[in-house]
C-alpha cells in the first residue's frame, strides 16, 4: 500500500528525468534572439527535442560557461569568445562555424527622420546617438568603425550613450530617449516586430564583417539533441530564416543558394 | 590590485551620486516618515506600500519604467522639457532621481520606526510647555530619533552605491556622468578583463563591509528601538 504511493512519485521522477534529457540548453547572443525564436519554432515542428533558450550578452555567457554553466550550445555575437572557449578546451573539436554575418543599421524611431537618417547623422542634427559599448559588443565595435570612416568621432562623441548590449541600445531608441542608434538589422526585421520610424542600412564596406560563431560545448558530448539542432542550422530551411532576418549568407550551403 | 584612472573616476562619481542622493533623500523622506508615523488616515496603508515598492520590484522593472517615464514621451520627460531642463536619462541628475526612488524605503522606514518609538508623551509634554510644532520637531523629535536618522543615512548611502540594475537601464555608461562603479565592474567582466574586475570588486567588498560594520557597531552601542533594520 505504502509502496504504491511512492511508486507514483518515482515514476513521475523518472519521467521528469526523461523529459530533461530531451531538452537542449542554448545560450544566444541578444542580437540573434528574434531569429532564434523563429528557428526553434521551425526546428521543433519536426523534432522531439526541446530547445531551452537563454538570451544575453556574449561576454556574460563566456564567463558563465567557463564556470560550468549547463549550456550545450553557444551562439556568440562574435568570433572572439568561441575562439577563447576553444583555447580553454571547453568546446567539442571542429564544431565551430559561422552561423550568421550581422548587418548594422542606424535606426530612428522619429517619424520626421524618415529617409533622412544618414543626413541627420552627418549634420549632427540629433540629441543622442545610441550604440552598444564597442568594448563589449561587436555591433558597437562596427558602429565605431563606421563613425571613424565618416570622420564623425570627434563631433559626435559627446552625444554618445552606450548600451551594454545591442538589446539595450534598441531600448534607448525605441523609448525615444535617443534620436539615433546603431543596432542590428535583425532587430528591425522579422514578422513579429512592430516597425517604428526608419533605418539606414550601413554599407558593408564601412566596417569589418560581423561574423557570429556557434560552438558545441563539451557538456553536449552525449546530447544528440544539440547535434541535431546544430545540423538543422546548416540546412537551407534554417539559412533561409536567418537571411529573412537580415543576416548575410554565412556557410557554403547558402553561398550556393545565393549564386 | 591596481586601479586605472577610469576606475578611479567611477569611484568618485559613485561617491558623488551617493552623497547627493542621501542628502536629498533625508530632506524629502523626513516629512514622509513623519506623516506615516503620526497619521491616522486611511491612506497610511497605501502610502506605506508605495514607499516599500522598490524593496520588492526588480530594479530592471523600475529602470524600464523610469526610462519610459523620463523619456521625451513620458510624463516626467514632458515635465522636465517644459521646464527647459531637457530629458533626464543619460544624465547625472537622472541617476539621482532614479536612485532616490530606489533607495526611498531604506531612508523612510528607519526614520519612521524611530519616530513611532518616541510616542506621543514627550511631544505632549513639550506642547504643554508651550513648544509649537516646528519647535517640537527640532528640539524633541530630531534628538530622540537621531539613531533612526543615522541608520537611514548609512543605509541610503550604501544602497545607492550598490545600485546596478536601474543605472544600467537609464545610464548609458557615459564616463564621468553615469558610469558608476557597479557598471564599470560589469563592463570589465563583459570585456573579459577579470583582473580589473577583481580589483574594483575588492574595493566594493571592503567598502560594504566597513559600512555595515559601522552600522552594527553603532546599533549595539545605542541599543535604540527601531534600529533592527536589516537583521
Residue range(s) defining the domain that contains residue A66: 2-101+211-258
Measured between beta carbons, the chain B residues lying within 8 angstroms of A57 are: 190
Q: Tell whether A97 and A108 lie within a shared domain.
A: no
Q: Tell whether A78 and A123 lie within a shared domain.
A: no
Q: Tell whether A218 and A174 lie within a shared domain.
A: no
> Is A206 contained in some domain?
no
Choose among A190, A211, A239, A188: nearest CA to A77. Answer: A211
Highest averaged pLDDT of the listed ranges A242-246, B50-54, B132-136: B50-54
The strands making up A104-108's β-sheet, listed across from edge to edge, are A160-163, A129-132, A180-184, A104-108, A198-201
Q: Tell whether A52 and A172 lie within a shared domain.
A: no
Q: Tell whether A76 and A131 lie within a shared domain.
A: no
Query: Residue A165: closest CA among chain B residues belongs to which residue?
Result: B190
Nearest by CB to A177, which of B89, B186, B190? B89
Q: What is the mean pLDDT of residues A117-138?
A: 91
Cell 532564434 appears where?
Answer: A36
Enter the CATH code of domain B5-222. 1.10.3720.10
> Is A151 contained in some domain?
yes
| pLDDT for the residue numbered A239 | 92
Q: Tell whether A148 and A168 lie within a shared domain.
A: yes
- B155-186 pLDDT tens trace: 999 999 999 989 988 888 888 889 999 999 98
Would you call A157 an interface residue with chain B, using a CB distance cutoff of 8 Å? no
Q: Tell whether A10 and A54 lie within a shared domain.
A: yes
Q: Tell whether A195 and A217 lie within a shared domain.
A: no
Residue A64: pLDDT above 50? yes
Confidence of residue A6 (pLDDT cuts 50, 70, 90): confident
The β-bridge relationship of strands A160-163 and A198-201 is unpaired
Those residues whose C-beta lies under 8 Å from the C-beta of residue B9, and which sit 6 or more positions away, are B175, B176, B179
pTM for this predicted structure: 0.77
Confidence of residue B121 (pLDDT cuts 50, 70, 90): confident
Complex ipTM more than 0.90, yes or no: no
Q: What is the mean pLDDT of residues B38-55?
A: 94
Query: Residue B60: closest CA among chain A residues belongs to which residue?
Result: A168
Q: Tell whether A19 and A89 lie within a shared domain.
A: yes
Cell 564623425 appears where?
Answer: A152
| pLDDT for the residue numbered A253 | 39
Residue ranges covered by each domain of chain B: 5-222
- B4-17 pLDDT tens trace: 888 999 999 999 99
Number of domains composing chain A: 2
Interchain pair B191, A84: CB under 8 A: no
CATH of the domain at A134: 3.40.190.10
Q: Tell whether A216 and A97 lie within a shared domain.
A: yes
Q: Tell whether A134 and A179 lie within a shared domain.
A: yes
- B83-104 pLDDT tens trace: 998 889 989 999 999 999 999 9
> Is A243 contained in some domain?
yes
Amino acid at each position: 500500500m505504502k509502496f504504491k504511493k511512492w511508486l507514483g512519485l518515482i515514476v513521475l521522477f523518472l519521467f521528469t528525468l526523461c523529459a530533461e534529457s530531451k531538452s537542449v540548453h542554448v545560450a544566444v547572443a541578444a542580437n540573434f534572439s528574434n531569429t532564434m525564436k523563429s528557428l526553434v519554432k521551425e526546428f521543433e515542428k519536426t523534432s522531439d527535442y526541446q530547445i531551452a533558450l537563454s538570451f544575453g550578452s556574449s561576454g556574460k555567457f563566456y564567463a558563465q560557461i567557463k564556470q560550468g554553466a549547463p549550456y550545450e550550445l553557444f551562439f556568440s555575437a562574435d568570433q572572439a569568445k568561441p575562439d577563447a572557449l576553444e583555447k580553454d578546451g571547453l568546446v567539442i573539436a571542429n564544431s565551430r562555424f559561422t552561423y550568421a554575418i550581422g548587418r548594422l543599421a542606424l535606426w530612428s524611431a522619429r517619424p520626421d527622420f524618415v529617409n533622412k537618417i544618414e543626413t541627420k547623422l552627418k549634420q549632427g542634427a540629433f540629441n543622442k546617438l545610441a550604440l552598444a559599448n564597442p568594448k563589449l559588443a561587436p555591433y558597437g565595435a562596427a558602429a565605431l568603425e563606421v563613425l571613424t570612416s565618416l570622420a564623425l568621432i570627434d563631433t559626435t562623441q559627446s552625444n554618445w550613450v552606450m548600451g551594454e548590449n545591442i538589446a539595450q541600445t534598441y531600448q534607448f531608441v525605441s523609448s525615444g530617449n535617443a534620436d539615433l542608434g546603431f543596432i542590428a538589422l535583425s532587430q528591425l526585421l522579422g514578422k513579429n516586430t512592430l516597425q517604428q520610424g526608419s533605418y539606414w542600412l550601413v554599407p558593408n564596406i564601412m566596417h569589418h564583417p560581423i561574423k557570429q560563431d556557434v560552438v558545441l560545448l563539451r557538456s553536449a558530448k552525449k546530447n544528440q539533441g544539440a547535434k541535431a539542432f546544430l545540423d538543422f542550422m546548416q540546412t537551407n530551411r534554417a539559412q533561409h530564416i536567418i537571411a529573412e532576418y537580415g543576416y548575410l549568407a554565412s556557410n557554403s550551403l547558402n553561398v550556393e543558394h545565393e549564386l | 590590485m591596481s586601479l586605472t584612472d577610469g576606475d578611479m573616476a567611477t569611484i568618485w562619481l559613485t561617491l558623488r551620486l551617493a552623497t547627493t542622493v542621501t542628502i536629498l533623500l533625508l530632506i524629502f523622506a523626513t516629512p514622509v516618515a513623519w506623516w506615516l508615523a503620526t497619521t491616522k488616515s486611511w491612506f497610511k496603508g497605501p502610502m506605506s506600500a508605495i514607499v516599500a515598492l522598490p524593496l520588492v520590484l526588480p530594479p530592471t522593472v523600475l529602470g524600464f519604467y523610469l526610462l519610459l517615464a523620463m523619456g521625451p514621451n513620458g510624463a516626467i520627460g514632458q515635465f522636465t522639457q517644459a521646464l527647459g531642463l531637457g530629458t533626464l536619462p543619460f544624465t547625472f541628475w537622472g541617476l539621482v532621481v532614479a536612485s532616490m526612488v530606489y533607495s526611498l524605503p531604506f531612508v523612510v522606514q528607519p526614520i519612521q520606526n524611530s519616530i513611532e518609538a518616541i510616542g506621543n508623551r514627550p511631544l505632549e509634554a513639550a506642547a504643554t510647555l508651550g513648544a509649537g510644532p516646528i519647535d517640537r520637531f527640532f528640539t524633541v523629535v530630531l534628538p530622540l530619533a537621531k539613531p533612526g536618522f543615522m541608520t537611514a543615512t548609512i543605509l541610503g548611502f550604501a544602497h545607492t552605491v550598490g545600485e546596478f540594475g536601474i543605472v544600467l537601464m537609464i545610464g548609458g555608461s557615459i564616463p564621468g556622468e553615469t558610469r558608476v562603479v557597479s557598471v564599470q565592474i560589469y563592463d570589465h567582466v563583459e570585456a573579459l578583463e577579470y583582473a580589473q574586475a577583481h580589483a574594483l570588486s575588492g574595493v566594493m567588498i571592503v567598502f560594504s563591509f566597513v559600512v555595515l560594520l559601522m552600522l552594527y557597531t553603532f546599533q549595539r552601542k545605542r541599543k535604540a528601538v527601531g534600529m533592527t533594520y536589516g537583521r
